[in-house]
Amino acid sequence: MPPTKDADEKSIANLVEKYIDENDVMIFSKSWCPYCKKIKDALKSAKIEFHSIELDKMDEGDQIQKELFKKTKQETVPNIFIKQQHIGGCDKTLEALKSGRVATLLNPPESERKHKKVDNDDLDSKDADEKANANLVEKYIVENDVMIFSKSWCPYCTKVKDALRSAKIEFYSIELDKMGRDLSLFKLLIYIFIYYLAEGDQIQNALINKTEQDTVPNIFIKQQHIGGCDKTLEALKSGRVATLLNPPESEKKHKKVENDDLDSYDYDLIVIGGGSGGLACSKEARSFEKKVCVLDFVKPTPIGTTWGLGGTCVNVGCIPKKLMHQASLIGEYVHDSVDYGWSQLDQARQHSWSKMIESIQQYIRSLNFKYRVDLRSKGVTYENSYGEFLSPHRLKLTDKKGKTKEITGEKIVVAVGGRPKYPDIEGDQQYGITSDDLFSLKYDPGKTIVVGASYVALECAGFLHGIGREVQIFVRSILLRGFDQQMASKIGDYMSTIGMKFHYQRIPTRLECLEEGKPGKLRLHYRQTLESGEIEESYEDCNTVLFAIGREACTNELNLDKIGIEVNKANGFKIKTKEEQSIDIPWLYAIGDCIDEQTMPPGQPLELTPVAIQAGQLLAKRMFSNSTIKMDYYNVPTTVFTPIEYGAIGYSEEDALSKFGEDNIEIFHSEFVPLEWSICHHRDQVKTMSYCKLIVDKNTDRVIGFHVLSPNAGEITQGYALGMRLGATKNDFDMTIGIHPTCAENLTTLSVTKSSGDSAAQEGC
Amino acid sequence: MVHTISTLDELKGKFSESKDKLVVLDFFATWCGPCLRIAPVIEGWSGEDDFKDNVVFLKCDVDEAEDVAKEYEIEAMPTFVLFKGGKEVDRVVGASSDSLKAAITKNK
């Protein structure tokens, strides 16, 4: 298996140095090695903390082992360093433990000791000596990016703190006037408790010695002395503070690699995101009796829409979408009813948006409740809070009232999903809506322009039209990018034929509100490239504009960069993973819509609930048991619920051609008429538009691509997905007896190939 | 008259007020059809001679008062919890007015 990164020698050497420097006791280990276990046990008994990494579980493990040999001439594990001194393997370390050498290394005589913690012993009298105070001051300055020595009553101190808060710059301050004889507990953001008994005055003296400034506030940023209130406000304004806090890439030091001592975590697993993936993963983890916490929080849309537990699928995705799709199908059946003998249904046909929304929202809210109860009954702690990373194992939680708290997790799964994108034009967030708003919209959308050609755009346009609203679709270039394009264009043909207007090469430029209201009157300005190549600027008036131009992962407010995780800016800001594990940090994982996963087929975003669920469950099994079953992202069946549904498994024709070559594949296809439509006059124009094709690898006869455009394509495709998973051949399909009369049976009787040039129209029964 | 409860404190207050009287607490949700259907029935009972002096009727929206719902482990709506002296003596799950009436009659 090739390494995930092109880790070159130098960066491996740096990585090894980092581990040695940042841990008093560092063990390079392998998970199956009995000597490694032996020495770890011995250290645990001696109550000596250590950090170990398992080289067999790391992609760059081999390279690290090579580097260690280079450095120490030792090629075995465990390879142990104490306070940056190479000790050796298990035997040598046991010996050093026994002889007291380990103890001496860990606790050198007083003069050599660098202060980490300040102990009570140093300062237990009123006359705490100057050195101790100076050390204390240094400690504050070193351990806080922005350090303010302050006094509680001082207005300039308050002024500069307010300014920093508005600039969203975190700081730490101590109030010198409040420091006295009584024990004051100061908990730094990321560090350990400090107890001390010192006079504020003496701190102030130490500051005078250091900076020649005798007033408060006395402010340090990244260990640089800035000055008082005025100087700091100036530095804020000039951008100097920003530069100090965010130095150029090359100067960034990696944060400390944290100790993996089990006792120090609040939870075995924290899952960020209570959607399809997050909930499945957390519940599966509970079956291994782990302590699990799920965080879920919905940031409202620009117009204020919000929803409960369950994620996108339940609240603003699959569930309401399918129900609205069904609403529109029922409208079609009412048209069909005439030819089946029903009278008067068609004339009386009316659709109430608010009634549909009420029914759907009631169901969704019952699901939100059900999920909360489910988590509780399975013993998962649920926090309705927004989580942000403070350090690789620590999260800050903010609830809807603004209250915060911190929790730590040994393993963390990011399952934050995604949200719809806005086009970044004037008026887009103010007057436009997205699918996040549509499914609970409190007023009838009326005449709607859908901007986009994604499956979300086409599905929404489809059901809006089906329930009787006038719909126009603005398409920038092609329909359903990433999907089989022949099928995409057939969907477009069907939708146009039933009355939806597509406008190609049309890009919105500005959204204006002509009249407020529910719905109001909007004017969408656009730029259109005509066939001649000319560019035309014009506008279209409507009641609602729905933007469905794509989605982005919700990763930009998690502080991922703070912990060294990079997101893929070119791919929806998704987190890069391999087998759902972060390629940057080994105890951080991610699943679902927010990941850019290496083992997924390229170019095919699999932002689907069942994918997230399966990945989440398998991941939990791998994290907490010795399961090695990986997620298989190939042959995932999908369905687009446009007015005529489209189901697909495996390769699109374009991908099959490019991967296998024209000579190696055969495509079998057929048009067909759904029996139920054959007697309906209102379906005359679209009757023959149902279609299916199988893409076959000539060399093996295996079916590598399955495509069906038909009513109920979702149900049809699910059944055939089992066959595809088992490696069905074209012969298997042919030898499977069809059920008559159905649409699904057409896949068992395909004989016409594309290469023959013969017509694919169906003949007789 | 059915009083609405939104917090555990309010509920405890009602318990002390009611002393030894039977307290019937209706846990409902605004999105729950059966809850909406049985509500007027209970409203009616609260004014009837049979009940108005010896039974206290309360109701609680599980979304608005999450901690009360959590305290009594409500998993389905409607759930009627019957109390005497602040302690649960019976509970009825589901919108069956017959079962509820029977439970009330038995415990009052």
Q: Three-class SS of residue A644?
A: coil
Q: What are chain A's domains?
A: 9-112 (3.40.30.10), 123-250 (3.40.30.10), 258-416+567-631 (3.50.50.60), 428-549 (3.50.50.60), 644-756 (3.30.390.30)
Question: What are the chain B neighbours of A440 within 8 Å (beta carbons)?
Answer: none
Counting the structural domains of chain B, the total is 1
Q: Kindly give the interhelix angle for A609-624 and A276-286, rounded to the nearest 10 degrees.
A: 30
Residue A362, pLDDT score: 94
The tens digit of pLDDT for each residue in A728-754 reads: 999 999 999 999 999 999 999 999 999
- Is A49 in contact with A192 (CB distance < 8 Å)? no
Tell me whether residues B31 and A376 touch, CB distance under 8 A.
Answer: no
- Burial classification of residue A726, based on how many CB atoms lie within 10 Å of its CB (0-12 exposed, 13-18 middle, 19 or more buried): exposed
- Is A537 in contact with A527 (CB distance < 8 Å)? yes
A101/B contact by beta carbon, under 8 A: no
pLDDT average, residue stretch A514-523: 95
| The one-letter amino acid at A641 | F
Q: Which residue has the higher pLDDT, A235 or A285?
A: A285
Residue A115, pLDDT score: 38
Residue A663, pLDDT score: 96
Max CA-CA distance within chain A?
A: 105
Quote the domain boundaries for residue B71: 3-107
Alpha helices per DSSP H over A74-129: 90-99, 101-106
Which of A211-225, A327-341, A389-403, A632-646 is the least confident region?
Answer: A211-225
pLDDT average, residue stretch A34-39: 88
Confidence label for A80 from pLDDT (cuts 50, 70 and 90): very high
Question: Quick one: which H or E segment has residue A697?
Answer: strand A690-697
Q: Kindly give the interhelix angle for A455-466 and A318-337, rounded to the nearest 10 degrees.
A: 40
pLDDT value at A259 more than 90: no
The count of residues in chain B is 108
Q: Which residues 5-24 of chain B have a CB within 8 Å of chain A? A: none
A306/B contact by beta carbon, under 8 A: no
Residue A258, pLDDT score: 46
Give the separation between CA A266 and CA A251, rounded to whole angstroms: 33
DSSP A563: G
% of chain A beyond a pLDDT of 90: 60
Give the separation between CA B47 and CA A128, rounded to whole angstroms: 75
- Is A381 in contact with A292 (CB distance < 8 Å)? yes
Tell me whether residues B63 and A361 touch, CB distance under 8 A.
Answer: no
The 10 Å CB-count burial string (b at 16+, else e) for A12-41 is beebbeebbebbbbbbbbbeebebbeebbe
A377/B contact by beta carbon, under 8 A: yes
By Cβ distance, the residue of A362, A365, A373 closest to B75 is A373
Give the separation between CA A676 and CA A336, rounded to whole angstroms: 9
Q: Which residue has the higher pLDDT, B50 or B80?
A: B80
Give the separation between CA A419 and CA A458, rounded to whole angstroms: 17
Q: What is the mean pLDDT of chain A?
A: 88
pLDDT average, residue stretch A302-325: 97
Annotated catalytic residue within A335, A465, A669, A740: A740
Query: Strand ranges (DSSP E) for A415-569?
Result: 418-420, 448-451, 471-475, 501-504, 506-515, 521-529, 535-542, 544-547, 551-553, 567-568
pLDDT value at A131 more than 80: no
% of chain A beyond a pLDDT of 70: 91
Best B27, B28, B30, B31 residue to mutate vs chain A (most A CBs within 10 Å) = B31
Residue A191, pLDDT score: 39
- Burial classification of residue A628, based on how many CB atoms lie within 10 Å of its CB (0-12 exposed, 13-18 middle, 19 or more buried): exposed
A373/B contact by beta carbon, under 8 A: yes
CA neighbor of A667 nearest in space, from A653, A680, A646: A653
Q: Three-class SS of residue B7?
A: coil
Cα angle value A55/A58/A64 (rounded, 5°)? 55
Give the separation between CA A593 and CA A572, rounded to whole angstroms: 10
pLDDT average, residue stretch A89-105: 87
B70/A contact by beta carbon, under 8 A: yes
pLDDT average, residue stretch B61-84: 92
Best B75, B77, B79 residue to mutate vs chain A (most A CBs within 10 Å) = B75
Residue B19, pLDDT score: 86
| The one-letter amino acid at A424 | D
| The one-letter amino acid at A659 | K
Question: What are the chain A neighbours of B70 within 8 Å (beta carbons)?
Answer: 376
Measured between CA atoms, the residue of chain B closest to residue A373 is B75
Question: What are the chain B neighbours of A365 within 8 Å (beta carbons)?
Answer: 29-31, 63
Cα-based distances in Å from A764 to A671, A673, A675, A692, A761: 12, 10, 12, 17, 10
Radius of gyration of chain B (CA): 12
Q: Which residues 337-366 of chain A have a CB within 8 Å of chain B? A: 361-363, 365-366
The tens digit of pLDDT for each residue in A448-467 reads: 999 999 999 999 999 999 99
Residue with tokens 């089989």: A484
Q: What is the CATH number of the domain that holds B103?
A: 3.40.30.10
B32/A contact by beta carbon, under 8 A: yes
Which of A21-30, A299-308, A541-550 is the least confident region?
Answer: A21-30
Residue A347, pLDDT score: 85
Shortest Cα distance, chain A CAs vs residue B63, angstroms: 8
pLDDT value at A5 more than 50: no
Confidence label for A199 from pLDDT (cuts 50, 70 and 90): low
Is A740 labeled as catalytic in the residue annotation?
yes
| The one-letter amino acid at A710 | S
Give the separation between CA A281 and CA A412, rounded to whole angstroms: 11
Tell me whether residues A366 and B62 touch, CB distance under 8 A.
Answer: no
Q: Which residue has the higher pLDDT, A168 or A594?
A: A594
pLDDT value at A109 more than 70: no
Q: Which residue has the higher pLDDT, A300 or A33?
A: A300
B87/A contact by beta carbon, under 8 A: no
B67/A contact by beta carbon, under 8 A: no
Tell me whether residues A369 and B70 touch, CB distance under 8 A.
Answer: no
B29/A contact by beta carbon, under 8 A: yes
pLDDT average, residue stretch A19-44: 90
The tens digit of pLDDT for each residue in A48-66 reads: 889 999 998 888 888 898 8
% of chain B beyond a pLDDT of 90: 76
A to B CB pairs, distance under 8 Å: 18
